[in-house]
Structure 1
């Protein structure tokens, strides 16, 4: 259940191409550490309900070690501390909780008030951030390629959304279902940032991990939802490999079947829906994607077509047969090549559609290790 924001192929490329031996060593250490984390069982979960339905955050400091969670340094309601990394983790988890609560009525990751636990200053020069099935963990970056991983709200929102998926559709972390898992995290990571900044779909940058790269890196972010494949092109990083539509779909055994690569296709579909509808993406477009995720009609092995069909059914159920929302959803999936022009719409009766959030799974029914892969 280990999901990290920086995909392994990017770290592997850096480990091969970085000219500075010290940078290569730090990247190699991050890769080796991630490989160990991917093999560990899911972490134990702190199932502590938030008081009176309010958000509850705890930030710990690993003090450059790897024991989790570390030393508690800030809890819900505490004043800011002198360490800005701690404050950024506190603010980012809070912004994500607020977006889910205000936009979709969801009380924390599990829908039942789970405490949002974060650990900062993890390891030395650790070039990643991850969700381990129970909490967020942030590295400080290697200092040459990557900076502090708490600086981007969308990174925090992305990783916490892996937890939401874990408690809802539980998409298997391989192939198209794994790419959907990644894409859903990008969608709601971006929406958490847009909601926090009060941005419309037109104002948003639609970037994941903007601000992570250090000066001198030829790139603007890890991924672009608006224009997949354009986020970076750097001698050390290589070129962003994400396709923008199905004509560029990458059939590979690496990266769990290309989960970080092919996620660009559903990412662009969501962007196209939000752009066509205008206004705030976390309103209608976000509601369609959230209701799809929590409907109970997305199987753990869902393909892009399966997911697209449920988004159509949700849009029609929420907004009507002749609605601009349904038209936007259909147009988007057709544009990226997931649905053909004559693809029949799935109706609510066929899906037994429910658009409310299902109850959180009890601890003994939590997802298995089939998602235990990077990000």
Structure 2
């Protein structure tokens, strides 16, 4: 890791206060792919290098899109564009190419296809939509029924899934390190939450605000999984990407909110670098200032908060995080302490001086983030 982070974010990583600033957000961070690209086995290094190249091209496209305007996704023929309160999903097949969105293979209300990847993507979009609507009364990512578009079978042996500012995209994995990226529903929920953040707090994708952006996606990604499984906080695994790693890889997931830094320890992948507290905070210029690394700190705070409260994490703990994300007071360049203070205020506003307030204050204290 580099020793010192730059004082300011690159222009391409900055958010605009005058409107949403969409950025390319992927589930597998660059430091993981960089490590894999150095492997001696070409079956591991080759796909990793190609994925890094593809991701770099997507980031460039995202910067150009920000400058000249977004790609227009046409509504499927015959679709009711005024419908609200129900999902409007469209799944496309890239057929191992990179042109987006690809060939439409399933629309809203269509029966399942013979392709399990298509069906998992469709179900994952629906699960995320249902959590937002049922738990928080929000109609899709933008609150106004935004259609949800996803493309599967992107490129060949592509080791990532991403939100590009307009839609979801899933690779099939290389089969050596990563499996199909539609397998974990929390990965789908995670990437779609980048869209939710884009339409709400619009957190700048650099440094601590970028780590909060990643953490919020991990929080709601894991809540999508728990909501789908109807799990209480004490029964959940609190893993991001469980089931994504191929057999033979020494690890259980990409990240652990319960125990950051323990998700994997593998000769090819390296060791999970996430810290759980501010004592282990990593200063780096890589990965947009360590957005996928230091997100372990607010992740762990949410885990401590939710498990202290008990019950279903999306009901009280998740509600407070949602209130902060959508409440209009979270600045685009917020740091951990800013976010923590707003969660305390949100807990007091919604629940009063009750168990929720005590638990959230204690959780942030345990990870070394001040709330006053």
Match of 1:284 among 316, 319, 328: 316
Q: Distance in 2 between matches of 1:164 and 1:270?
A: 18
- Large movers: runs of 4+ above 6 Å: none
2:71 alignment partner in structure 1: 44
For residues 35 and 270 of structure 1, the distance between their equivalents in structure 2, rounded to whole angstroms, comes to 31
Residues 47/330 of structure 1: CA separation in 2 closer, same or farther (3 Å cut)? farther
Q: Give the aligned CA root-mean-square deviation in angstroms.
A: 1.1
More deviation in 36-45 or 329-338? 36-45
Partner of 1:57: 89
1:254 maps onto 2:281 in alignment = no
Q: How far 1:175 moved relative to its partner? A: 0.5
Q: Which consecutive residues of structure 1, in runs of 5 or more, have no partner in the other structure?
A: 345-375
Whether 2:41 is the aligned partner of 1:20: answer yes
Find out whether 1:2 has 2:24 as its counterpart. Answer: yes
Offset of residue 47 of structure 1: 8.3
Q: Which residue of 2 aligns with 1:196?
A: 228
1:121-140 aligned within 5 A: 121-140=153-172
C-alpha distance in 1, partners of 2:264/2:85? 41
State TM-score, norm by structure 1. Answer: 0.89
CA contact (8 A) 2:118 2:152 kept: yes
Q: Say if 2:369 is the partner of 1:338.
A: yes
Paired residue total: 339
Superposed counterparts of 1:322-361, under 5 Å: 323-339=354-370, 343-344=371-372
Q: Pairwise mapping of residues 163-202 of structure 1 onto structure 2 (< 5 A)? A: 163-202=195-234
Shift of 1:50: 5.7
The whole-number CA distance in structure 2 between the counterparts of 1:81 and 1:110 is: 28
Give the Cα–Cα distance (whole angstroms) in 1 for the partners of residues 141 and 100 of structure 2.
19
Q: Alpha-carbon deviations, 1:305-334, whole Å to 9, x = none?
A: 00000000000000002x000001000000
* Distance in 2, Cα, partners of 1:170 & 1:302: 10
Deviations 1:226-255 (A, max 9, x none): 100000000111100000000000011111
Cα shift readout 1:211-238 (whole Å, capped 9, x = no counterpart): 1100000000000001000000001111
The answer (yes or no) to whether the contact 2:200–2:326 under 8 Å persists in 1 is yes
Deviations 1:190-229 (A, max 9, x none): 0001001111101111000011100000000000001000
Map of 1:212-231 to 2, 5 A cutoff?
A: 212-231=244-263
The structural deviation recorded for 1:45 is 5.0
How far does the alpha carbon of each residue in 1:269-319 deviate from its partner, in whole angstroms, 9 at most, with x for none?
000110000000000000000000001110000010000000000000000
- Check conservation: 2:43, 2:176, Cα contact below 8 A: no
* Structure 1 residue aligned with 2:123: 91
Q: Distance in 1 between matches of 2:347 and 2:72?
A: 34
Structure 2 CA distance, aligned partners of 1:40 and 1:155?
23
Higher RCO (C-alpha 8 Å, min separation 6): 1
CA distance in 1, matches of 2:333, 2:84: 36
SS at structure 2 position matched to 1:130? strand
Which is further off, 52-61 or 217-226?
52-61
Aligned-partner Cα distance in 1 for 2:74–2:363: 38
Runs of at least 5 residues in structure 2 that lack an aligned partner in the other structure: 1-22, 76-80
Give the conservation status (yes or no) of the 8 Å contact 1:46–1:115: no
Aligned to 2:18: none
